[in-house]
Amino acid sequence: MLQTLAISGYRSLHDVVLPMGELTVITGENGSGKSNLYKSLRLITAAAEGNIIRALAYEGGLPSTLWAGPENISSAMKQGTRPIQGGPRKAPVRLKLGFAADPYSYLIELGMPVPAPRSLFNLDPVIKRECLFVGNAWRQAAMLIDRKGPLLRRRTNRQWETVSEHLPEHEALFAQAGDPTSVPEVFSLLHSIQSWRFYDDFRTDREAPARRNWPATRTPVLASDGRDLAAALQTIREIGDERALNNAINDAFPGSALVIESIDDGKLELTFQQPGLLRTLKLSEWSDGTLQYVMLVAALLTPRPPPLLVLNEPESSLHPDLLPALARLIKNVSNETQVWVITHANRLVNALSEFETTESLHLVKSYGQTGVHGLHDLDVPMWRWP
């Protein structure tokens, strides 16, 4: 389980260290930094997938994603007696991402390259440092893997051995994880990060992929756009928790049930049975809110639970009366899978905050920097950058 998330130098996240629980709820006003927090977590997965440089390029490149304010905001700047302005930098410009978890923690630092003559890629960031360590904060004695520029080393029996001296500066150390016998720690962490799951782009319009019938095959993990919804639900029925599925539907729509039938060409048809109706409702007849809720149910009740599941604004299209049922489902799932919920919906926040295991973080922005309302120094998890 992730216990701490740390970000430095990414957009409004000038220097943020956040606690993470079994169920973490992120809320805040528009522009407070919720999207930046979500994107920073996606960047860590991009590192594991080998495309963090490309992911940053799609955001406008490293210069566009770096913290745009001064290195330090002094008390005089906050009091208004001095204008907010930059000065001579004391540290190199870096984008830093990291997390503390059990059993392995990880951090990565990116910076600008030394310009190469005749190269057209001098705006591509390079990886300056990566560390894989144990414990809740980096320290020299806790490191298992250390990467500085092209040099990648691994500690074995208190001795450092060189894994590679020519690691490409645009590739994360996970590129060396192809052999689990040479760097098993990296291989284990790679598998964990690649198993994280994100849902933030469910479409519910009339042309939504989820409203179409697709070829049927066992689907333990719902696609990010929900296109294989019927197959995912049937997979839950056959190898997952069918009782939890039925309860989740009945909790939101009392007396209702999902009906899944095989039709021509090996496809599945998903319909909705409601009390008082003489026929079931086809997907084309479902409201946007009904479709959104059922897709969330399929995502949450996956028979292959990930170590981390992130829902970004799951309340989209949902009627407020459905939010308590969604909160109960999320809470039940968080007993087995770590769940992050980023939301604007106060009713969902209030429902989730009633559970003892919920870590509630309300983001605020001050002087351009994202912070957490009410998070005092004693509540901030221990963290240290190299």
pLDDT tens, residue by residue, 39-64: 999 999 999 998 999 999 888 888 88
Q: b/e per residue, 145-174, with b = 16+ CB within 10 A?
A: bbbeeeebbbbeeeeeeebbeebebbbbbb
Pairing of strands 268-273, 281-282: antiparallel
| DSSP secondary structure letter of residue 122 | T
Yes or no: say if 115 and 61 are a contact pair by the CB < 8 Å rule. Answer: no
pLDDT > 80? residue 70: no
Query: Can you say how many angstroms the Cα of residue 84 is from the centroid of all Cα atoms in its chain?
Result: 33
- Residue 368 CA, chain-centre distance (Å), reads 23
Nearest CA to 197 out of 298, 53, 79, 286 is that of 298
Confidence class for position 114, pLDDT limits 50, 70, 90? confident
Are residues 14 and 8 in contact, defined by beta-carbon separation less than 8 angstroms?
yes
CA 213 – CA 235 distance, rounded (Å): 16
Q: For the residues 91-98, what does the mean pLDDT come to?
A: 89
Burial (CB < 10 A; 0-12, 13-18, 19+), residue 244, is middle
**pLDDT tens string 174-203:** 887 667 777 888 999 999 999 999 999 899
- For the entire predicted model, the pTM comes to 0.91
Triad 373, 14, 145: Cα angle to 5°: 110
